[in-house]
Structure 1
């Protein structure tokens, strides 16, 4: 089921609710929270299908992505407001709490949910992300220079095929060299996201949004919600020191490593990532 969710005056989000493919009593749903400037359609269907074997799955488009409202220049916002949007999506589907799975910026938003709305989070799985306030330490590296240079071009005007070329080049850097890179697969993924949005440009709104309210790393120690941090050893955005730092910062954090994974959910890592999420949502990791 698809719907729209009003989160602020003049701001509406697209959201999709996918039923579990099981007749067993339904556990808490899974809420997928995507990264910056990225539509919810960039969650690969292969991953969604694996999670839907046991869970109802909800995914959505952030503001200024996909079919949600694109209006940052008229209605600027802080990154922290995107976490409140996630709660509004749960409210729209009458979901009292969910297993939150956040990638990259979605992992930052997941941390804000753990701090500000812990009663809405059954468990959390965070990956390809950094702890709140984590870039303040010299021991925690910044994204690779090659990525920073490419990001400078993110909002440049391009025709459709040139935009697809840019996005595939971006995924190539994000993927790293630890797993095979399938350019055709990523091109098809992005073409589908563009068709979903009805436009191929990007305003890079999340890169321009205020980061006020994100310096809250010290509060993570009080988090009581079980949280899994997935370490992606080839991640060029948030290299491995970030994942370990986040897991140690959390009151109930634990760390697992997916060999070869970069800052991308490609076909190679779908199975181990889904297995890690489902182990977390089932609580199996806490049983002897």
Structure 2
């Protein structure tokens, strides 16, 4: 079932629900410039066998309002959009799963709206905390000394995004996924081509958005609140991650009080078919352990 939610004056967000209406809600939060269909259908269906699964388009993605040029917003506003989606769908509390920027938004929700969450799963993201990382040997590493984004990713992101038509845009996105997916699993070019064609069909155009990279990111740190967290939380470690490489997930699990850590073998900063089943299993193990 598809539905539009009014999140703020002039802002409408596209949402889709799958699964039994009376099942525990599970809301999926995608990363920067990624629409809700960035969550692959097979993964969504696996989760929907146990949950009322909601995925939605951020502002300036998919079928939601593209408004940044006329009305710039903050990253914090994207976090509040999650609450607007829950309110619009009449959901008091939900499990949330966030990837990349979505994992940061999920941390902000853990800190600011813990009463609205049943659990949180954080994937391919970094800690919104200044707490140093403690290595297994007991030594510590300041957050600004943790590994940075891989050079090949930075080089790709530094290139200007030019419109050479839909076919060229699909090829650009495939190259992007090839780098983001890491080097531990075979890269399925055909899968990602079909995936991006689906994203473009859903959006209705092939233009690449840049709003989230330009949005005000001030005030995102939640060091103290995360250290006092009481919401059941899971951190997913992706060993081939080129954006937030290990030990970022280990650090995140230390910063979020009570968080568990699970590794998905071969996973990078992407969701190819090989990770769908193990990722669904990990998420469902976390949500299934929560009593409502």
Q: How does the TM-score come out when normalised to structure 2?
A: 0.92
Indicate the larger mover: 173-182 or 228-237: 173-182
1:36 corresponds to which of 29, 32, 35: 32
- Are 1:202 and 2:236 counterparts? no
Tell me the residue number matched to 1:125: 121
Query: 1:19, CA displacement in angstroms?
Result: 2.3
CA distance in 2 between partners of 1:164 and 1:248 (Å)? 38
Q: 2:97 aligns with which of 96, 101, 104?
A: 101
1:20 aligns with 2:54: no
- Map residues 120-199 of structure 1 onto 2, 5 A cutoff: 120-133=116-129, 137-153=143-159, 155-199=161-205
Unaligned runs of 5+ in 2: 133-141
RMSD between aligned residues: 1.7
1:1-288 equivalence runs, <5 A: 1-20=1-20, 26-133=22-129, 137-153=143-159, 155-283=161-289
Report the Cα offset of residue 141 of structure 1.
Answer: 1.8
Q: Structure 1 residues 260 and 205 mapped into 2: Cα distance closer, same or farther (>3 Å)? A: same
Paired residues of 2:25 and 2:93 also in contact (CA < 8 A): yes
1:154 CA displacement: 6.0
Give the conservation status (yes or no) of the 8 Å contact 1:180–1:268. no
Q: 3-state DSSP class of the match of 2:122? A: strand
User: Is 1:158–1:201's contact at 8 Å kept on the other side of the alignment?
Assistant: no
Q: Contact 1:118/1:225 (CA < 8 Å) preserved in 2?
A: yes
SS where residue 138 of structure 1 aligns? Answer: helix
Which runs of 4 or more aligned residues in structure 1 lie more than 3 Å from their structure 2 counterparts after TM superposition? 133-136
CA contact (8 A) 1:31 1:57 kept: yes
Distance in 2 separating the partners of 1:63 and 1:228:
26
Name stretches of at least 5 consecutive residues in structure 1 with no aligned partner: none
Higher alpha-carbon deviation: 12-21 or 56-65: 12-21
Q: How many Å apart are 1:175 and its aligned residue?
A: 0.5
Structure 1 residues 15-64: Cα deviation after superposition (integer angstroms, max 9, x where no partner): 1111239xxxx442110000000010111101001001111100000000
- Between stretches 127-136 and 225-234, larger displacement belongs to 127-136
Distance 1:109 1:255 in 2: 19
Q: Is the 8 A contact 2:19 2:50 kept in 1?
A: no
Q: CA deviation at 1:133?
A: 4.3
